[in-house]
Structure formats: C-alpha cells, structure tokens
Amino acid sequence: MKIVDLLLGRRLANREGEQRRIGWVAGVPAMGLDGLGSSSYGPEAALTVMIPLGAAGLHAIGWVIAPIVGLLAILYLSYRQVLAAYPSNGGAYT
C-alpha cells in the first residue's frame, strides 16, 4: 500500500465520486475559507506580542501588518484565478 493511500485514502471511482460530491453550501465553510480564516489571525497575534511594549510598540505595527495585508491581496487574487478558470462550478470544492 502506498503512503499517499494511507494518508489520504484510496481514490474514488467515477460512480463513487458523484455520490460523495458536496455542494458549495457545505464546501465553502469546510474548505474554501481556510486561507482567509488563517490569515486573519495575523494582526491579532502581532498585537498580542506587542502588548508588553505598550505605546512604544505602536510605531512598528505598520511594518507587521503590511505583509499580512499583502498576503491577503495575494490570496484574493488566487481565488479570483480559480473562479475565472472554473466559472461554472466555482473551483475545486464543488
């Protein structure tokens, strides 16, 4: 047995895939917003680390949040590419 099969399970036959297909209502909360949700914790974590610095740490918050906003922009563009590539079903999770 392959390691990939142990980690992910066996591949589904075409007839099995149709039975196990989920719609966008279940797919978006399950998988679609993972990157967006994960990146939203960045500013909160940055502020938590800067609490001991107090007001002196406020000058550095822009340098911490700027890369996070940049990553959110990249994530937005990648989602737009997926939607453009798969206009009828919205991406890989439907």
Band of residue 94 on the pLDDT scale cut at 50, 70, 90: very low
Could you read off the pLDDT of 5-63 as tens digits, one per residue?
Answer: 777 777 777 776 666 667 766 666 666 566 556 666 767 777 787 788 887 777 877 88
Band of residue 65 on the pLDDT scale cut at 50, 70, 90: confident
Tell me, what's the pLDDT at 90? 62
Residue closest to 29 by CA, chosen among 37, 21, 40:
37
CA–CA gap between residue 45 and residue 24 (Å, rounded):
31
Residue type at position 61: I
